[in-house]
Amino acid sequence: MATIRIPTTMRALTRNQAEVVAMGATVREVLKDLDARYPGLGARLLDERGAVRRYVNVFLNDEDIRALADLDTPVRDADRLTLIPAMAGG
């Protein structure tokens, strides 16, 4: 199972857990399993087409998945995904 680091702004959906685990062979599968375990999280991460929302960054072991194979990036059990929502302000 991959370990997923949950940002503070999304922890209400994971019962305030900073790290959770999910299964899958690709980032897409891990995020799908994550949403099944913690309903509502998927809608915060993926848009209506199933793509990562443009204001959310997903890193696999410190590599942006957009620089890899995006949602089709392979995931191993020992891997760590980090979810980082972009911040805006003025």
Residue type (1 letter), 15: R
Quick one: pLDDT band at residue 87, thresholds 50, 70, 90?
A: confident
Question: Using an 8 Å Cβ cutoff, are 80 and 6 in contact?
Answer: no
The confidence score (pLDDT) of residue 90 equals 56
**Position 27 pLDDT exceeds 70:** yes
> What is the dihedral sign for C-alpha 66, 70, 73, 75?
positive
What mean pLDDT is predicted for residues 67-76?
Answer: 98
List C-alpha distances in Å: 62 to 40, 57, 68.
25, 11, 11
Q: 0.85 cut: is pTM over it?
A: yes
d(CA 53, CA 90): 21
